[in-house]
Structure formats: structure tokens, C-alpha cells
Chain A
């Protein structure tokens, strides 16, 4: 009932808000408001979750802060809207949020439904987790026929799961919840044998289980899950800002610009660094984007470069210890490749 009302209200407010939102560009709206409204996960440790001080932290959260820093020069001018998988796209559509940075897989159908993906900030793939203590002897996803599988509704995960079991002629019983907390609780209580979501998520949730060591993530990756920020279609300038914020983070890593040395780097003689940090004479790179010329400095000062964001939140500097893998720079065998800032 609550949900029905919520949806109805959302649809109505979508109409009203859209009328208002469309009157100016998103950048003008955000500047007028004085803060960025960023849609994030309701609680995926490492990517977006409130920390023990009650502040939002995580990989996606840092991306929100980076955008705020680029727009306002101040990473604190951002408000977070936690969204379930089901509500995230309608919330963006309605104008409730300015940008959605919430482990959202880039797919053709989503791209053509009135949204634009601005890039891939994390290359992920869907995996399976099981309780190895209870189901000893299972070491491949192909042995899962007949299992009950916990999955979040309204995700690409749900669709991949159906495809995977069908193409391997296996049976399963889906146990579907709307909220990630409900999926976690159901898996932890033994309601299902298998938990499936993006592998990064599995590693993160595993640590939140009652006995993390009992659970293993199976080796199979059954899908491509390119996760990235999403904006409403039709505002090219705003999409550019989000897109180039990502490239700025990557470029900073490539050039060795870090949170600690960014001030120093502004005095560098290196032409490329000077250009990226807006120190070139008469540069218009930042202002053409609708920002200030020191936008990259602001971003890196706020959250560091891509490598720092990665390691602090989900990599070696975090409890999750996720390896860079295919998210390494292109020059190091990964897929992260920034377009040149020039």
C-alpha cells in the first residue's frame, strides 16, 4: 500500500517537477539550489553507505563529491538521496536527483529510455556467493541446479540470472526482494542457498554477514556489468560535466597528481599537468565546460585521483581488498582510459 501511494505520488510529482526542471539547464538549477542532489545506493559498503560517524562514504559517494567540487569548488555541497534499485531511475526521471551514481549497469534499453550514461567508473560482473560450510562440494555455478537464489528486483542481475540458468538448462527458485537489506537478511538467515549480484557487491556484503568466513564467491562471472553515472537525456552540458569529472580523476592518476601533491603540482612546469590543472595562460578548458578553470584541482583536492578513490573505498585501503583488475589504467592492462583533456 505504502509503495503504491509512493509510486503514484512519484508519477504525479514527476510530471510537475519535470515541468520545472526543464525550464533551465541542470547546471543552472544546481547552482541556483546551491548543492548537488546525488542519488546513491541505500547501503552498499564500499560504494555508498553511511559510516560510523553517520557521513556518507564510498566509491560512488566520492564521485558525487567530485562533481560537487567541480561545480562549486566545494565537495561538501552535495546532498545524498539513498535509492533502491527499483526507485533509482524514476527518481532521476522526475528531477528528484541531478545525477545517479549508484552501481547502475549501462544497457541499451536504459540508454534509450530517456537516460544518458556518461562513462564507466567501475567494470563489474555478476557472480554467485554460497555458504561453503553448508554446501560443501560445490565449487562452480554450474552445480547450482535446484537452488533458491536471493536477488534484488528491478536489476540487470535478475535478468542475467534468468538467462544463465535457462541457457545452462538448470532450475532455480528466485527469492526476490526490493531492498538490498532484505536480500542480505534473507540470505543470512538461510532463506536461500545462493546470493547473486555484482561481484564487487558480493565481496562487500560478505563482510556484513554473521559468519563471513563460511561464505565463498564462486569463480564464474556470468555477465558484463559496466557501472557508471547516469543523467537525464537532453542536457548535453550536464552530461559532459559528469563525463569529464570521471576523466579528470583518471587523468590525475595517470599524471601522478594526488590529493596530497595537487597544490604543489599547480606550480609544475610540465605542459600537460599545467594544461589539465588550468594553469595555462588564457585557458578556456574549464569555462567551456561551464565550470571554472581550476575544476580539476578542486576535484583532486576533494577526493584524490581515481586510484586513491578506488584504494581508499574498496581496494587495499579498505576492508574489502578488491583488486584493481580490469579497472586498472589502460597502460597497466586495465580498461580505464581517459579521453585527453586538451
Chain B
């Protein structure tokens, strides 16, 4: 807001001078803006309330406590039946959206970095393959990419009775990817403890190794040691308890494979499409970031005797990250929002579940409001996290 003192200095001299006073003008414009905005919001709210009454529609969020009455195909984290409430159904939708978004972000980032670095490879073939990948996926609308995976790849897989048998008791058919579900018996908790101990141990080893290298210049095989700790400790824990772990293998039932765990084709097609689509954008961001690092940096690293791998890992990428992270945030947000295309293949994300609720209850305004608030919250949280990450990765000026 403009400051309060419009000062009596020029007030007596002339009226015109007050109009040309930038402070005064700023004050006037801001007042008008606030008035118009308030009026607009009042009009919208008033109109909505009046029309809801005229159409004999109830409003409010009380309906969310009602019994949903419909089933949802995939609810990996919450117990949901048709007896659950609408609010539980919405949570299932939100969690499904988050699942596909998080999984998609992780793979899209991996694909993006591999392809992006690949585009700068000295190898002609790798470079060209990466270019073709980027151009193909970047230039197809994401909905078509989803259809490509759903209709073009996954739905032409064989029927349940002719499932493709893969190693380790896994099967692939047009109902999804079936794999043995681990069943933990008594004592399996020790494996969890072992896993946590392994991760903590790996972090400690890494810290110690960095310190030692700083002090003495000697290197330590951190990667292999960490892997050994993270895998070895849980295995050791299981061995102590006499392997209290069994697997529930999928077997052929009357209609489909029964037992085990399942990843449905709806999730897979959405997940793959979002990963591949966003991955192509991330690849370009990564390439731009690496290009943005001065050539002198690489030459200096070479002059110090670093080989190509460590040069990329220790010199180029950390500097490139400064350029990469801000646009990367936008891509993560895009991916999350694009996940609402799930309705096209029947994956029960927030939009699909919300749409069903909207139709069963007729509460359009409430459901649309919930959609907007949830997507806004997810996006804002992602932004906050990425801004924090960006600040952490930024070069510290000395």
C-alpha cells in the first residue's frame, strides 16, 4: 500500500499537482483495484449462493461423511470398500495421484539425466538415439503417449490363461504385472531394523570416507561397501531369525491369476507415459544445464588429471545443477498435473474418483473446490521443497 502521508505540501498550490503525485495516484489505483476485486468476489459468492438456492441445491461439505457405495479398483495404502465414506474415497484418489506422481518423477528424472547426458556423448550412435528419443516424446501430446502404452502395448498382451511367464514367479498379461507378494512371519521386524542400520551405516561410512580423502587423499570404495551394508544387514537379520519370510505366488484362478501382488495396466501405462514424456523435457533441461557450464571447467578438470567420469560427476554436474533445478521444478509440477489424464485409462486418481463422487452426489462446486485445493497444495509443497533443494545446491559465494 502507498504510504499514508499524501503531505500537505502541494495541496494548497494546485489540484493538478496532486493528480500527478505518483504516491497519490498509486494510492487511488490500489483502492480501485481492491474495490473492484472485492466487488467481483462478492458478486461471484452472492451469485453462487443465490443460484444454489434457486436450483434447490444443498451446499457444504457434510456429504463427504456419507457412504460412497462404489468400489475402487486400486487402493494400495488404504482399506477401502463400498461401505467407506466419500472422504475415504477421496483420500484413495489423492494417494493414487501421489503414487503415480512420485514414481513418475523418480523415473522421469533418471531417464532425463541419462538421455540428457547421452545427447552430449562423444559416441555418434548414442547421441543420435537420444536425440530421436527427445524429439519423439517431446512432440507427442501426453494423452497420446498414455494411449500408446495402454492400447498399443499393454492391452495387446496375452490373456490371463496365456500369461507370459517371467523369472522369479512373475507373470505378465493384459490384466497387469503379477509378482509374488512377500508374507512376513514373526521375527521379520529384525530385517527392517537391519535395513535401517544398513542405511545409517552406509551414510556414516560415506562421511568418514570423505573426511579421510580430504585429509589423506586416499579413496575408499564407498559404493560397494554401502551396497553390502544395505543388503547384507537385513539378510543377516533374516538368517538369524531362520528366514521368517515366505512368498505368496500368483496362480491361475477361474478368471485371472489369483494371489500375489499386482500392478494394473492402468497404473503402468500412466506411469510409463508420464515418465517417458516428462523425461524428454528433463533431458533437454539437463543438456542445457551441462552446456551452461563453461568449457574451461572441463579443461581444468582434465588438466588436473581427472578422467571423463569423475569430471562429469564431480565438476560439471554440480555446477549444472544450479541451472537445472529451477526448470526441473516446473517439470515436476507438470508431471503431477498431467497425472489427471488418468481418467482416460480408468486409473482411479483424484480426478477420476472426484468425478464419480460429483456425479453420485451432484456437488459440483464442492468437488471442483477440493480438486483445486488438493492440486494447489501438492504443487506448492513441491515448489517449497525444490526451492529448499535449490538453495542447498546453489554455489556458496566466498
Contact = CB atoms under 8 A, between A and B. Distances in A.
Contact of A189 (B155, B255, B256): B155
A233 interface: yes
A4 B71 CA distance: 22
A342 interface: no
Nearest 7 Cβ contacts at the A-B interface: A154-B359, A113-B362, A162-B82, A18-B51, A114-B55, A177-B346, A147-B255
B300 interface: no
Given A7-B371, A15-B44, A18-B51, A175 B346 contact: yes
B1 interface: no
B73 A153 contact: no
A298 B90 CA distance: 49
A271 to B, nearest CB: 41
9 contacts: A7-B358, A19-B51, A22-B54, A109-B360, A153-B359, A162-B69, A176-B346, A189-B174, A190-B159
Interface string B137-161: 0000001000000010001100100
A86 B82 contact: no
Given A93-B364, A146-B258, A153-B355, A2 B82 contact: no
Given A1-B340, A153-B356, A114 B57 contact: yes
Nearest to B359: A154
B85 to A, nearest CB: 14
B48 interface: yes
B254 interface: yes
Interface stretch (A178-186, A248-256, A261-269, A307-315): A178-186
Interface of B: 44, 47-48, 51, 54-57, 69-73, 81-82, 143, 151, 155-156, 159, 174-175, 253-256, 258, 265-266, 337-338, 340-341, 343-346, 348, 351-352, 355-356, 358-362, 364-365, 367-368, 371-372, 375
Given A113-B57, A191-B174, A11 B337 contact: no
A134 to B, nearest CB: 7
Nearest to A14: B364
Contacts of A134: 159
Given A175-B73, A191-B155, A163 B359 contact: no
A89 B346 contact: no
A46 B55 CA distance: 32
B388 to A, nearest CB: 27
A1 B358 contact: no
Contacts of A317: none
Given A146-B255, A153-B359, A191-B175, A234 B54 contact: yes
A173 B71 CA distance: 8
A193 B346 contact: no
Nearest to B175: A148
Contact of A182 (B56, B71, B346, B356): B346
Contacts of B82: 159, 162-163, 166
Given A90-B358, A146-B253, A173-B73, 6 more contacts: A7-B355, A11-B368, A148-B175, A178-B355, A189-B174, A191-B155
Given A1-B340, A15-B48, A190-B174, A146 B55 contact: no
A147 B258 CA distance: 10
B47 A19 contact: yes
Contacts of B352: 153, 176, 178
B143 A2 contact: yes
Contacts of A90: 358, 364
B255 A148 contact: yes
A149 B73 CA distance: 10
Nearest to B58: A113
A222 interface: no
Contacts of B155: 186, 189-191
Contacts of B368: 7-8, 11
B264 to A, nearest CB: 8
A7 B352 CA distance: 12
B335 to A, nearest CB: 11
Interface in A122-175: 134-135, 144-148, 153-155, 158-159, 161-163, 166, 172-175
A3 B355 contact: yes
B239 to A, nearest CB: 37
A7 B151 contact: no
B372 A8 contact: yes
Nearest to B337: A1
Interface centre among B70, B258, B338, B375 (most CB of A within 10 A): B70
Given A3-B340, A89-B359, A176-B348, A22 B51 contact: yes
A232 interface: yes
Given A11-B368, A89-B362, A161 B44 contact: no
Contacts of A110: 362
A173 B356 CA distance: 17
A217 B73 CA distance: 24
B346 A186 contact: yes
Contacts of B375: 4
B55 A86 contact: no
A14 B44 CA distance: 12
A85 interface: yes
Interface centre among B73, B253, B355, B371 (most CB of A within 10 A): B355
B71 A174 contact: yes
A3 B356 contact: no
A155 B70 CA distance: 10
A16 B337 CA distance: 27
Contacts of A153: 346, 352, 355-356, 359
B255 A193 contact: yes
A114 B56 contact: yes
